[in-house]
Amino acid sequence: MNLLRLPFLVKLTLVIISIIGIGYLLALGQSILAPFFLAFLMAMLFLPAATFMEKRLRFSRSVSTITSVLIMLMILTGMVYFFGSQLSDFSKDIPHLRVQFTSVFNDLQHWVSKTFHVKIDEQLTYLDQGLSKLLSSSGVILGFTFGLFSTGLGFIVFFILFFIFILNYRRVLNNFIVTVFSEKHKASVQEVVLEVRIMTKKYIVGLCLQVLIVSVLTSIVLTVLGVKYAILLGVLTGLLNVIPYLGICIALLISCFIAFATATPSTCIYVLIGYIGVHIIDGNIILPFVVGSKVKINALFSFIGIIIGEHLWGIAGMFLCIPAIAIIKIIFERVEGLQPWGKLLGEEGKPDQKKKSYKLSKSITLKEMD
């Protein structure tokens, strides 16, 4: 059988048209695809628990699915209660923060004028007024947080429904993916699907552990430095850290802003040093030993993915784009003919580089994951 060989320009045109078409469909189906993809990630996270309940506890598929949904709703309810109570306390302190920030900022203005003999009062007045309005507008802060976590009623309803369907009909979906290809490719497709599912599950679990560890480390650092709302800022840092490079910078700006308003200007420097330390630990220990190196995405495509995700799905897209690119990278590396694209998305590999390992005790050794 002779294969049709197309000229390079024709292939390039078809690829560009396909990318534009897929992007248009993703933007058009934002209200459906965003909760669907998030439900898929959560289903991968709860898949081991559901399998355990079915095999060990002899639960039926529907009972294990309902139990998983209840556990997930309990976790989400706890998160909503935590952020709600923290934001409620924060909103009550906004008038005090505004007064304190204005006082500190005025002292800084006088110090700069006295030290450098430069009249900057008129220029800094606009900045002072703008920051005062920002602190006095609790609706802006609450509205940003509301949009950040995509807590719309429709989003939650679709997310829960998709989560139930994906977890309950996972075998049907798996069989469809396998049987849609020809018989001679069935074994290799089954192997690829199994590897992608295992790697995706490991990645999602590792990502959740990374968020937890970064949240705890940041909360400890901010508590030691005496920054108010240390736990809230720590959890927010852990969640924003899912967005590589950009997320930790946004969290640092927010923490420095709160530290400047509630403590002294010098505290901001210590907060900066603390965040740099957490970022170093995250990049050299948490990421390779908890998440794994095979799903690590290089900075270029992480940044491109964040921009495209925000353009297509808003703030939710910024969070979901990184797991999406990681899953695409996993698939590309296991499909013949697409391996170069998978290598393009990942970091530059060193063939002779050995895996890192740290011996914590005689019986406990921490090894770098694949």
Q: What is the pLDDT of residue 127?
A: 56
What is the residue whose two structure tokens read 């530059």?
A: 348
Percent of the chain scoring above 70 in pLDDT? 78
Q: Over 80: is that where the pLDDT of 335 sits?
A: no
CA atoms within 13 A on the CB side of 344: 7
> Helix or strand or coil: residue 119?
coil
Mean pLDDT of 15-23: 84
Most confident of 131-145, 314-328, 345-359: 314-328
Tell me which of 102-111, 223-232, 310-319, 339-348 is least confident.
102-111
Per residue in 227-265, pLDDT tens?
A: 888 888 999 899 888 877 778 888 998 898 888 777 777
Residue 70 has a pLDDT of: 92
Question: How many of the other CB atoms lie within 10 Å of CB of 9?
Answer: 8
Convert 107-136 to b/e letters by CB count within 10 Å (16 or more is b).
Answer: eebeeeeeeeeeeeeeeeeeebeebeeebe
| Orientation of helix 153-168 relative to helix 61-92, angle to 10° | 150
Check pLDDT > 70 for residue 209.
Answer: yes
Q: In this predicted model, what pLDDT tens digit does every residue of 37-65 receive, in sequence order?
A: 888 888 888 888 888 898 888 888 889 99
Give the residue from 283, 287, 328, 296 showing the smallest Cα distance to 309: 328
Which burial class, exposed, middle or buried, applies to 261 when counting CB atoms under 10 A from its CB (0-12, 13-18, 19+)?
buried
* Whether the Cβ atoms of residue 278 and residue 218 lie closer than 8 Å to each other: yes
From residue 182, give the alpha-carbon distance in Å to each of 144, 177, 311, 335, 358.
Answer: 49, 11, 37, 15, 46
Q: Does the pLDDT value for residue 134 go beyond 70?
A: no
Q: Would you say 65 and 50 are in contact if contact means Cβ atoms under 8 Å apart?
A: yes
Residue reference for tokens 């189906």: 29
The Cα–Cα gap between 227 and 221 comes to 9
Helix (H, G, I), strand (E, B) or coil at 151: coil
Answer with the residue of higher pLDDT: 190 or 51.
Answer: 51
| pLDDT value of position 363 | 58
SS3 content of the chain, % helix, strand, coil (to 5): 80, 0, 20
Identify which of 14-28, 140-154, 280-294 has the greatest average pLDDT. 14-28
pLDDT in the model for residue 277: 92
List CB contacts of 117: < 8 A, sequence separation 6 or more.
Answer: none
192, HSE (Cβ side, Cα atoms, 13 Å):
19
Q: What is the pLDDT of residue 219?
A: 93
Q: State yes or no: pLDDT of 279 exceeds 60.
A: yes
Q: Predicted confidence band at 1 (pLDDT cuts at 50, 70, 90)?
A: very low
Of 105-114, 187-196, 294-303, the least confident: 105-114
d(CA 111, CA 126): 18
Q: Answer yes or no: is pLDDT of 67 > 70.
A: yes
The mean pLDDT value for 139-165 works out to 65
Q: Is the pLDDT reported for residue 150 higher than 50?
A: no
Tokens 């952020």, located at residue: 83
Average pLDDT over residues 359-363: 57
pLDDT at 138: 46
How many angstroms separate the CA atoms of 196 and 184, rounded? Answer: 20
- pLDDT tier at 362, thresholds 50, 70, 90: low
Average pLDDT of every residue of the chain:
77
Higher pLDDT, 327 or 133: 327
Judged against a pLDDT cut of 70, whether residue 367 lies above it is answered with no
The pTM for the full model equals 0.73
Q: How far apart are CA 4 and CA 43, in angstroms?
A: 40
Q: Of residues 198 and 223, which shows the higher confidence score?
A: 223
Cα–Cα dist 359/311, whole Å: 45
Q: Where are the domains of the chain?
A: 30-168, 202-370
Residue 370 reports pLDDT greater than 70: no
How many Å separate Cα 125 from the centre of its chain? 37
